[in-house]
């Protein structure tokens, strides 16, 4: 595994070619549970410089709705790629990777699985935002419960896998779902729908910023993936690492990334 390069090594020639920034939210735009003001204003400045800006998160459909409508962004991918939303001519467009009947069947299976996980792994809880989720089940290990040890996180993942679900670990939740999608699939869908962009052909012209194992498909795919400094805590849980790392953590690191990009354009 190559060592992570410093953000300052992201070349000006690359910065000049970037068309858009995709970014995780939790612990990438936030820090200690709060949106970092400098990161939020960075989204606005990136957009103002003509870049497309798209948060890509494990957070629920209900949050995606609010962010797509209110934030300075061009669209949002939520529930780890299961759905996306964007504004077109002042109206919201929402898309899901699975048809409604399939989502309903999966929902019933996940509700059963939730009972099993909460009963078998002490200290876990449903994520506080579970009510606003459309496709996935989020088990809290760190957000509104006292932090659980790595063995408990592994045990949650094992329960999802045993039940035939996909599981991804973020910095606060384990998210699990039925069906083959991830953050990268959701980005492909949103960029195709909203902008007619073929992400596979354009990957060299997009930045991805993230911090944890649910960002791994993105770190593997984007040659210019950037981890905020706190990604270091998760490196040994990931096979794919970002190419670059910021000096600071969370949203403070994202603001550094935006400043570097804008300075070299
Ligand atoms: Mg994160």
Ion ligand 1: protein residues whose beta carbon lies under 5 Å: 24, 26-27, 171, 211-212
Judge if 45 and 172 occupy the same domain: no
Q: What are the C-alpha distances in Å from 1 to residues 4, 94, 174, 220, 233?
A: 9, 38, 25, 12, 16
Give pLDDT, residue 56: 98
pLDDT at residue 50 greater than cutoff 80: yes
Judge if 90 and 208 occupy the same domain: yes
29 Cα: distance to centroid of ligand 1 (angstroms): 8
pLDDT at residue 38 greater than cutoff 80: yes
pLDDT confidence bin for 130, thresholds 50/70/90: very high
pLDDT at residue 76 greater than cutoff 70: yes
Give pTM, 2 decimals. Answer: 0.93
How do residues 132-144 score in pLDDT, each as one tens digit?
A: 999 999 999 999 9
pLDDT at residue 34 greater than cutoff 80: yes
Final residue before a domain boundary, out of 177, 202, 217: 177
89 Cα: distance to centroid of ligand 1 (angstroms): 30
Is 86 inside any structural domain? yes
Give pLDDT, residue 2: 63
Is 2 inside any structural domain? no
81 Cα: distance to centroid of ligand 1 (angstroms): 14
Number of folded domains that form the chain = 2
What range defines the domain where residue 118 resides?
100-177
246 Cα: distance to centroid of ligand 1 (angstroms): 14
Q: Are 93 and 193 in contact (CB under 8 A)?
A: yes
223 Cα: distance to centroid of ligand 1 (angstroms): 19
- Percent of the chain topping pLDDT 90: 95
Q: How many Å is the Cα radius of gyration of the chain? A: 18
Mean local confidence (pLDDT), 70-93: 97
């Amino acid at each position: 595994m190559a060592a992570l390069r410093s953000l300052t090594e992201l070349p000006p020639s690359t910065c000049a070619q970037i068309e858009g920034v995709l970014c995780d939210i939790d612990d990438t735009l936030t820090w200690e549970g709060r949106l970092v003001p400098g990161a939020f204003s960075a989204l606005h400045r990136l957009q103002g410089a003509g870049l497309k800006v798209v948060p890509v998160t494990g957070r629920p459909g209900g949050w995606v709705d609010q962010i797509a409508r209110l934030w300075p962004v061009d669209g949002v991918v939520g529930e780890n790629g299961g759905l996306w939303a964007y504004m077109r001519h002042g109206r919201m467009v929402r898309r899901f990777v699975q048809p409604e009947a399939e989502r309903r069947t999966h929902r019933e299976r996940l509700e059963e699985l939730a009972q099993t996980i909460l009963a078998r792994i002490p200290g876990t809880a449903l994520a506080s935002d579970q009510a606003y989720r459309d496709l996935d089940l989020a088990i809290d290990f760190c957000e509104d419960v006292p932090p659980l040890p790595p063995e408990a996180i592994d045990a949650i993942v094992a329960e999802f896998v045993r039940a035939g679900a996909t599981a991804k670990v973020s910095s606060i939740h384990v998210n699990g779902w039925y069906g083959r999608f991830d953050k990268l699939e959701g980005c492909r869908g949103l960029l195709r729908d909203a902008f007619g962009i073929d992400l596979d052909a354009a990957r060299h012209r997009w930045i991805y910023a993230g911090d944890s194992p649910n960002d791994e498909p993105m770190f593997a795919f984007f040659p210019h993936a950037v981890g905020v400094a706190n990604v270091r805590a998760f490196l040994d849980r990931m096979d794919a690492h970002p190419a670059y790392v910021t000096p600071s953590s969370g949203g403070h690191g994202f603001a550094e990334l935006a400043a570097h990009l804008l300075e070299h354009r």
